[in-house]
Amino acid sequence: MHAAVIVFPGSNCDRDLAVALEAAGTKVTKVWHKDTDLPQGVDMIGIPGGFSFGDYLRCGAIAANSPICKSVAAHAERGGYVIGICNGFQVLTETGLLPGALLRNAGLKYICKTVALKVETSASPFTEGYNAGDTINIPIAHHDGNYFADDETIARLQGEDRVAFTYEDTPNGAKADIAGILSSNRRVLGMMPHPERAADAGHGGTDGQALFRALAGALAAV
Ligand SMILES: NC(=O)CC[C@H](N)C(=O)O
């Protein structure tokens, strides 16, 4: 089990993501955005939260055009695992690896608090440690977390069981309360909340731990 965590100028959750993955038993190598190749033997890629390139242009838009993102796309196309958290989710929509866009929060404010999420599906390598219908408490910290896609795309995501998490009380205006979605092969997850900030008792909550453990289990089985 070997994960690459991509680091952009302005990433601020790369270490937290690496620590959460390592605690679940995954080897982690950090990879600078200017690199073009992933380390040998990487099974999964983590795109961390933060403020890549200062959120200029649109959150994640400049990062999505970094040299390493061609390798991220090739890895996903080969059926590799990818998790994008918060700014990482924004990067995944900007690269087109996940559908939709993250717009400015409905209230135009940066929101930093712990929110209740509903686990919509346990049928993915990221969510199989939960039961569908579970409520988990996970922190959010973003100003552009308002998920948007056209009605047809939302219906397709719902019809294909690709909504991973919804907000129980949507803080940002996200369409259909969507907090996280899966790719059609279920191996790419993008989510705005930060499970790596709820992965150790010292964080004040451990509801994110099951995600990293399930992922490590799925990688061990590859
Ligand atoms: N915590 C994050 O990754 C924040 C993402 C992005 N900078 C936003 O504020 O929306």
pLDDT, position 161: 98
Residue 144 CA to ligand 1 centre (angstroms): 7
Q: Average pLDDT in the 168-193 region?
A: 98
User: Is 194 noted as a catalytic residue in this protein?
Assistant: yes
Q: Tell me the per-residue pLDDT of 5-51, one tens digit each, with 9 for 90 and over.
A: 999 999 999 999 999 999 999 999 999 999 999 999 999 999 999 99
Q: Whose CA is nearest to atom 5 of ligand 1?
A: 87
Q: Is the pLDDT of residue 138 over 80?
A: yes
Q: Average pLDDT in the 138-148 region?
A: 98
Q: Whose CA is nearest to atom 8 of ligand 1?
A: 142
User: Is 59 noted as a catalytic residue in this protein?
Assistant: no
Among 5, 58, 59, which is best to mutate for testing ligand 1, by the most ligand atoms less than 8 A from CB? 59
Q: Whose CA is nearest to atom 7 of ligand 1?
A: 51
pLDDT, position 195: 98
Instruction: Please state the ipTM of this predicted complex.
Output: 0.97
Report the share of the chain in percent with pLDDT over 90. Answer: 97
Domains and CATH numbers, the chain: 2-220 (3.40.50.880)
Ligand 1 binding pocket, CB closer than 6 Å: 49-51, 55, 59, 86-87, 141-145
Q: Whose CA is nearest to atom 3 of ligand 1?
A: 49
Q: Is the pLDDT of residue 134 over 90?
A: yes
Q: Is the pLDDT of residue 222 over 80?
A: no
DSSP letters for the chain = -EEEEEE-TTB-SHHHHHHHHHHTT-EEEEEETT--SPPTT--EEEE--B-GGGG-SSTTTTGGGSTHHHHHHHHHHTT-EEEEETHHHHHHHHHTSSSSEEEPPTTSS-EEEEEEEEE----STTTTTS-TT-EEEEEEEESS-EEE--HHHHHHHHHTT-EEEEESS-SS--GGGEEEEE-TTS-EEEESS-GGGSSBGGGTB-TTHHHHHHHHHHHHT-
